[in-house]
């Protein structure tokens, strides 16, 4: 029951945080003067195209962009009725992209699940690489294994993602015949999911997963090594060793569990870091994720599109934090579920 109460409390906290984040996102995307349509109106006036101005003015009223910012926010979120009644984020209406002249839902439809897929693959890659290398480096401290893993880690941290993407882009295709660019073959774009399409996506995932996850894996490996070395130096480990406990049992019984806490807590920060770090990689590799879409929307001040993408990233961040909090509560018995402990 304690874990259920804690999960409910954290879920409610997550939604409250998301509400605050939505206010900040809306305020930030409206910080630059004007918006897409007002900028377009100014350009049309400068060139004397009066017919285009009438259309832009109509769209401003159609999407409530002529109203005060606080009212625009309430309509965008679906808390207040707009020109078409209640039709905001809460009702599943994400607005219109003026840059692409299409509904936001159509633009981000396939890009959303591809973004989630790429970043989940990167998270799995990070943990599959960082866990064994970090534990091995700590267990074999000051040996060639430790130095080799440290060298790999520093190499991963020092190499820019876009440079690594370009290198693998060329050598992966030349020597391993890996596909160049994108997350699927062109003939599968816009097609319903099938075995062949999923196979194409998985093959195309190899390079992006490696590129996006490398720096995260290197940083996490170093943190796990440092945490585990700190635990292995504590008196209770020396006591267990003196009592004749074998090294593998001694390592996994308590030190590894305690050292895992920051490792698990990193889930909350890893997802947003991977998504933000993958924007440039997505542009270089031509990935059909929301990264390039967000970049275009921010540059053109396409507020409905950029607002939705930022809200989606915020939601992923909060979900990652929720997962890490629940795993920490299960992993470490010292964490109290019900506030003030027994």
Looking at residue 279, its pLDDT comes to 72
**Three-state SS for 97?**
strand
For residues 215 and 136, the model is more confident at 136
Contact between 182 and 91 under an 8 Å Cβ cutoff? The reply is no
Range with the lowest mean pLDDT among 13-17, 84-88, 233-237, 280-284? 280-284
pLDDT band at 327, cuts 50/70/90?
confident
CATH 3.30.310.10, domain 109-302, yes or no: no
Question: What pTM value is reported for the model?
Answer: 0.77
**162-187: per-residue pLDDT in tens?**
777 778 777 777 777 777 677 777 77
pLDDT band at 334, cuts 50/70/90?
low
For residues 271 and 28, the model is more confident at 28
Whose tokens are 């101005």? That residue is: 53
**278-306: per-residue pLDDT in tens?**
677 777 777 777 878 888 888 888 889 88
Looking at residue 342, its pLDDT comes to 42
For 18-80, the DSSP string reads HHHHHHHHHHHHT-SSS-HHHHHHHHHHHHT-HHHHHHHHHHHHHTTTTS-HHHHHHHHHTSS
Strand 102-103, strand 96-97: pairing:
antiparallel
Distance CA 132, CA 224 (A): 10
Most confident among 13-27, 199-213, 226-240 (mean pLDDT): 13-27
Looking at residue 16, its pLDDT comes to 93
**45-72: per-residue pLDDT in tens?**
777 676 677 777 888 888 888 888 899 9
Burial profile 95-109: b = 16 or more Cβ within 10 angstroms, e = fewer: bbbbbbeebbeebbe
Looking at residue 277, its pLDDT comes to 65
Looking at residue 336, its pLDDT comes to 54
Average pLDDT, the chain: 80
Instruction: Please say if the pLDDT value at position 340 is more than 70.
Output: no
| Structure token digits, residue 46 | 């400068």
CA angle 191, 197, 202 (to 5 degrees): 140
Overall average pLDDT of the 184-191 stretch: 75
Distance CA 276, CA 313 (A): 9
Distance CA 242, CA 262 (A): 28
Looking at residue 74, its pLDDT comes to 92
Instruction: Please say if the pLDDT value at position 251 is more than 80.
Output: no
For 296-321, the DSSP string reads HHHHHT-HHHHHHHHHHHHHHHHHHH
Looking at residue 1, its pLDDT comes to 64
| Structure token digits, residue 170 | 């060329």
Instruction: Please say if the pLDDT value at position 240 is more than 50.
Output: yes
pLDDT band at 21, cuts 50/70/90?
very high
Looking at residue 22, its pLDDT comes to 93
Overall average pLDDT of the 318-329 stretch: 82
For the chain, give the longest Cα–Cα distance.
89
Instruction: Please say if the pLDDT value at position 133 is more than 80.
Output: yes
pLDDT band at 23, cuts 50/70/90?
very high
| Residue whose C-alpha is closest to residue 148's, from 138, 164, 137, 157 | 137
Distance CA 104, CA 206 (A): 29
Range with the lowest mean pLDDT among 61-75, 153-167, 231-245? 153-167
């Amino acid at each position: 029951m304690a874990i259920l109460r804690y999960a409910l409390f954290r879920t409610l906290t997550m939604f409250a945080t998301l509400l605050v984040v939505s206010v900040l996102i809306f305020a930030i995307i409206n910080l630059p003067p004007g918006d897409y349509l007002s900028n377009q109106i100014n350009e049309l006036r400068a060139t004397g195209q009066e017919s285009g101005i009438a259309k832009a003015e109509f769209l401003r009223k159609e999407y409530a962009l002529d109203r005060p910012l606080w009212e625009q926010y309430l309509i965008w979120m679906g808390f207040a009725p707009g020109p078409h009644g209640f039709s905001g984020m809460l009702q599943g209406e994400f607005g219109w992209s003026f840059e692409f002249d299409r509904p936001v839902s159509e633009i981000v439809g396939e890009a959303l699940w591809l973004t989630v897929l790429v970043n989940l693959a990167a998270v799995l890659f990070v943990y599959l690489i960082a866990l064994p290398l970090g534990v091995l480096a700590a267990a074999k401290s000051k040996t060639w294994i430790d130095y080799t893993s440290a060298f790999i880690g520093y190499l991963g941290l020092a190499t820019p993602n876009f440079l690594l993407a370009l290198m693998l882009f060329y050598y992966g295709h030349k020597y391993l015949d890996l596909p160049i660019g994108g997350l699927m073959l062109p003939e599968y774009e816009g097609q319903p999911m099938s075995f062949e399409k999923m196979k194409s996506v998985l093959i195309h995932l190899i390079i992006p997963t490696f590129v996006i996850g490398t720096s995260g894996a290197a940083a996490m490996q170093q943190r796990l090594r440092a945490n585990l070395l700190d635990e292995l130096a504590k008196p209770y480990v020396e006591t267990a060793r003196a009592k004749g406990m074998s090294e593998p049992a001694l390592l996994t019984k308590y030190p590894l569990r305690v050292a895992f806490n920051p490792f698990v807590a990193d889930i909350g920060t890893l997802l947003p870091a991977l998504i933000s770090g993958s924007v440039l990689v997505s542009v270089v590799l031509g990935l059909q994720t929301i990264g390039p879409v967000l970049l275009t929307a921010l540059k053109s001040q396409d507020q409905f599109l950029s607002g939705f993408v930022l809200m989606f990233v915020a939601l992923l961040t909060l979900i990652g934090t929720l997962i890490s909090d629940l795993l920490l509560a299960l992993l470490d018995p010292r964490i109290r579920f019900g506030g003030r402990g027994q």
